[in-house]
A = this chain, B = another copy of it.
Amino acid sequence: MKLFSNRERTDPIKLGIIGCGIAAKKLHYPALKKLKERFTITAVCNHTEPKAKEFSKIVGDVPYTLDYKELLAREDVEAVDIVLPIHLNRLVITDALKAGKHVIAEKPIAGTLTDALELVELAEHSQKVAMIAENIRYRKLFQRVKELINSNAIGEVNSFSWDFYYKFDARNEYAHTEWRKDHKYEGGIITDAGVHNIAAIRLLFGDIASGSAMTWNVNPEVGRTDSIRMNFKTTSGTHGSFNMSASVEGYSENKLLIFGKSGTIIIEHDDIKVMNPEGKSFKESMNDDGGFKAQFENFYDAVRYGGEVVSTFTEAQKDIEVLLKAYQSAESGVPFTIE
């Protein structure tokens, strides 16, 4: 249960950022810069000094620490944005909530189901805001697709398929990150990137009930798993598929097809095409910043006004559970079910 006594406060949230890597610099900070009336970055932390120092300069010469516990001890930090390697989430999120800070942490919530469930439990008993930065949940694109489905634009949906093929290699700056290459969480790049797809799938079609998967690896340089194909059913009986390979040469695709009784929705990049055989087809473009600004707005509203968190720990735990169960299924050859 959360108690909010600060409904009258409208001052910016004093935010500490833990982790000064690419995601902090390229994804979170650009959104925070647009929200200066709501967030004041008061401290940053990175365990290596050059990155901490560099990022502290970028965000306005704020104090930096090398030990996240020092940042958590600061009185001028009321909330933290945790942007760390996946396997560190459990420890640092736990310490942050226990230190009485509101938390927004980068997806996925954790690298194991045990860690994820522990964090959900912790969030439930915390009076602080606990949120996972799953930007997909804030993208206008998927909100619009959901509206279209709900407004019966293609009739009853019977199935969907998301094919996501690209080449993740040295040309991608994220591929240089040591914790990504030698990943301490199952699934490697599939977990890291694919959790966004699962979040979108759950947002659009509801919870996944059962399925099966196969995984394999093409390029050991990017980790131990770079390819997955999974088929599954949602609790409402829709048939879904998520197919990803991060080691495709000479071809790329990122397309979600949604098949309805009377039409098909095609989502590619920022475009939504509604295809209807009766000539009522149309196309919309839903360019946004990836949902990052809306995500921090939600965090602000939750902290300052007790607003409902959209991307809760529970949702994030359910996202990652699908992938972790899928890996187990691929390993064992036994289909998975989710309670």
A214 B233 Cβ-Cβ under 8 A? yes
Chain A, range 137-186, C-beta contacts under 8 Å to B: 154-155, 158-159, 161, 163, 165, 167
Complex partner residue of A249 from B165, B212, B261, B334, CB under 8 angstroms:
B261
Establish whether residues A216 and B245, one from each chain, have CB atoms under 8 Å apart when the complex forms.
no
Q: Which of B161, B216, B333, B335 is close to A159, meaning CB atoms less than 8 Å apart?
A: B216
Contact with B along A258-292 (1 / 0, CB 8 A): 01111110100000000111000100000000000
**A212 CA to B229 CA in the complex, in Å?**
11
The reply to whether A250 and B229 form a contact with Cβ atoms under 8 Å apart is: no
Complex: chain B residue closest to A226, CB-CB: B158
Chain B residues with CB below 8 A from A259, complex form: 165, 218, 245, 248-249, 251
B231/A249 in contact, CB under 8 A: no
Alpha-carbon gap, A218 to B259, bound state (A): 10
Choose from B216, B275, B277, B335 the contact partner of A333 (Cβ within 8 Å): B335
Complexed CA–CA distance, A165 and B259 (Å) = 10
Copies of this chain, how many? 2
For residue A276, which residues in chain B have a CB less than 8 angstroms away from its CB?
Answer: 249-250
A257 at the interface (CB under 8 A from B): yes
| A243 surroundings in chain B (CB, below 8 A) | 161, 241
Q: Is the CB of B231 within 8 A of A212?
A: yes
A334 and B262 alpha carbons, distance in the complex (Å)? 32
Interface centre among A218, A231, A250, A277 (most CB of B within 10 A): A250
A89 CB within 8 Å of chain B = no
Residue in contact with A257 in the complex, picked from B155, B239, B251, CB distance below 8 Å: B251
A56 at the binding interface (Cβ < 8 Å): no
Answer whether residue A227 sits at the interface, using C-beta atoms and an 8 A cutoff.
yes
- Docked complex Cα distance between A60 and B257 (Å): 49
Contacts of A261 in B (CB 8 A): 218, 249
Contacts of A245 in B (CB 8 A): 159, 259
4 closest A-B pairs by beta carbon, nearest first, are A250-B275, A251-B264, A250-B263, A250-B264
Beyond A154-B250, A229-B231, 18 additional contacts (C-beta under 8 Å) are A154-B249, A158-B216, A159-B229, A161-B163, A163-B163, A167-B277, A214-B231, A214-B233, A218-B261, A229-B239, A230-B231, A241-B243, A249-B264, A250-B262, A251-B266, A333-B335, A334-B335, A335-B335
A-B contact pairs, 17 of them (CB 8 A): A158-B227, A159-B229, A161-B163, A161-B243, A165-B259, A212-B212, A218-B261, A229-B241, A231-B231, A248-B264, A249-B261, A249-B276, A249-B277, A250-B263, A250-B277, A251-B257, A251-B275
Which residues of A approach B to under 8 Å, CB–CB? 154-155, 158-159, 161, 163, 165, 167, 210, 212-214, 216, 218, 227, 229-231, 233, 239, 241, 243, 245, 248-251, 257, 259-264, 266, 275-277, 281, 333-335
